[in-house]
Chains A and B, each alone.
Chain A
């Protein structure tokens, strides 16, 4: 086989795979603008019959709660969980990397790893009981605090802090800096890129979270967009167009976010997997 036909074949396979990956987005987007009857008669039509924004008034209220409430909840819960998670995890990982000689620190790391190994969907069951005991059911604090515990952030920070040579800290210590000063003046400036990566990655992951939100909530007042979407999808009497429109609203923000920061997201999410 000649080099050109090989190239052609490689491009053909890659294009087909990409098309399969992307087609569901296009179908979702087109379907959001088409009526249920129109989709039933020709499911594959590649563009809508006409652009009508009428559907967005159909999803203006889901299950008696206005759409904007879910949007605000999603933004609020995701942002706060991401910010708290980044700060808390960065500090924790820093301490664990700097002082592996402390037995309790090593135990804490083991406990954290066990938490990750535990089937996440089933961790929600005992977490529900913990929230019940602490009186956190039904409110934002419980949801936000639980989401802020993020494995991927921990690994990103742990891996980064391990690359800082200890001579850097020792030099600062000799210069008379205490640990807080070293953290603020030496470590934090170096850590800016990894903090940005960790923030973006965990924002994307927190945005997608649904089960903890659903389990800790007591009413749709604290639901985020994915939970609202799941509810709408489970309702009797299919509002097909509404489901697709809500799926678009749930997906579009993170899609744009990913496209803007794709290099960082891809390297961040897979960092630590293979040592470079």
Chain B
């Protein structure tokens, strides 16, 4: 009558209760670091965003309610910085995904036999290169007088590129440098997904008369859904936070045309305007979470459909 598993479960629960202490010990350092350098700062940041900047570091911080948020949202530099950040993020995410997917398909294609490893190394090397060093080099490549970019364009008798000096081109210059640094990461993720795909299904589709475009659209792309989801969430989070490239190459200029939210907030922090800086951080944090969750939900919905 007695189910053997019925007696086994409580027994296991008993040993689990006895050994929980060991796990607390294992987790303690990690919990400590996460609490002190993750959770506490985030809570503190929220708290500071409701206090007056000058008193933020004092024990008797002065509460000012939502006024930091109000002044941030009324600040025309912040509003244009936010819309600039969103436009740039969209541009960067789309170009990253499209380029990475196209290049991964090329590297995965049967046309490239030997050499794929070398091509992978070449595209991934910029990913592990310290971003400051990479962007410093790009800053000088784009330079009007030193720059190799314009000299090369001139040699090919093509029009010169305004690079970092012109408000019209600076976004593209920043995007090129960022793509150079980041795209390899996304290529390798797509390649990992492509390696899991079933070549047989694709061949069957081709035998049934599907052309290359139909095969890609109806067979390969649905199979790549996991990588597409991960890559777009990663890229979204990453480009919304765009910072280093601006700090190294443009300092937000010329004329604020690359003054993205995280850079603007950091500038305020350096001026000691902690309240407004943390209010901006909270707003950006909210946008990151909302967009990332939204994207995940859209993808989940399309999977279950």
Residues of A within 8 A of B (CB): 3, 6-7, 9-11, 13-14, 17-18, 20-22, 24-25, 27-28, 31, 39-40, 42-44, 87-89, 91-96, 98-99, 101-102, 105, 108, 111-112, 114-115, 117-130, 132, 134, 145-146, 148-149, 173, 178-180, 183, 204, 207-208, 210-211, 225-227, 229-230, 233, 240, 243-244, 247, 250-251, 254-255, 258-259, 262, 265-267, 269-270, 273-276
Contact = CB atoms under 8 A, between A and B. Distances in A.
Given A115-B38, A251-B130, A265-B128, A270 B189 contact: yes
Contacts of A146: 37
8 contacts: A21-B184, A24-B137, A118-B285, A121-B262, A129-B48, A149-B33, A229-B133, A254-B128
Given A92-B27, A108-B31, A270-B192, A7 B111 contact: yes
Contacts of A180: 22
A120 B241 contact: yes
Contacts of A178: 19, 22
A99 B20 contact: yes
Given A21-B180, A149-B33, A251-B129, A274 B193 contact: yes
Interface in B230-265: 230-231, 234, 237, 240-241, 243-244, 247-248, 262, 265
B74 to A, nearest CB: 20
Contacts of A119: 240-241, 262, 281, 284-285, 288
Interface of A is mostly: helix
B130 A132 contact: no
Contact of A270 (B188, B196, B265): B188
B119 A27 contact: no
Contacts of B231: 273
A133 B122 CA distance: 45
A262 B121 contact: yes
B106 A10 contact: yes
A207 B155 CA distance: 37
A39 B188 CA distance: 35
Contacts of B145: 40
A42 B33 CA distance: 51
Given A10-B111, A10-B112, A233-B248, A251 B240 contact: no
Contacts of B129: 25, 208, 251, 254-255
Interface string B111-134: 110010011111111111111111
Contact of B111 (A6, A121, A273): A6
A214 B294 CA distance: 34
Interface in B62-121: 103, 106-107, 109, 111-112, 115, 118-121
A195 B88 CA distance: 37
A123 B121 contact: no
Nearest to B242: A121
Interface in B28-70: 29-31, 33-42, 44-45, 48, 56-57
Nearest to B147: A43
A251 B181 CA distance: 13
A125 B243 contact: no
Q: Which are the 5 A-B pairs with shortest beta-carbon distances?
A: A92-B30, A115-B38, A126-B41, A179-B22, A18-B122
Contacts, number: 287
B141 interface: yes
A273 B121 CA distance: 19
Contacts of B41: 123, 126-127, 129-130
B297 interface: no
Interface of B: 15-16, 19-20, 22-24, 26-27, 29-31, 33-42, 44-45, 48, 56-57, 103, 106-107, 109, 111-112, 115, 118-134, 136-141, 145-148, 151-152, 155, 180, 184-185, 188-189, 192-193, 196, 226-227, 230-231, 234, 237, 240-241, 243-244, 247-248, 262, 265-266, 269, 274, 277-278, 280-281, 284-285, 288-289, 292
Contacts of A115: 34, 37-39, 42
B189 A125 contact: no
Interface of B is mostly: helix
Contacts of A128: 269
Q: Which one of A98, A115, A125, A251 has the highest number of Cβ atoms from chain B below 10 Å of its Cβ?
A: A125
A255 B125 contact: yes
Given A14-B115, A17-B123, A44-B151, 20 more contacts: A18-B118, A20-B180, A22-B125, A43-B147, A43-B151, A92-B26, A96-B27, A111-B38, A111-B39, A112-B34, A114-B42, A119-B241, A119-B285, A122-B266, A122-B281, A125-B277, A251-B134, A255-B128, A274-B192, A274-B193
A7 B112 CA distance: 7
A205 to B, nearest CB: 8
Nearest to B38: A115
B128 A21 contact: no
A104 to B, nearest CB: 8
B161 to A, nearest CB: 14
Contacts of A276: 192, 196
Contacts of A18: 118-119, 122-123
Given A20-B180, A119-B288, A226-B132, A27 B106 contact: no
B41 to A, nearest CB: 4
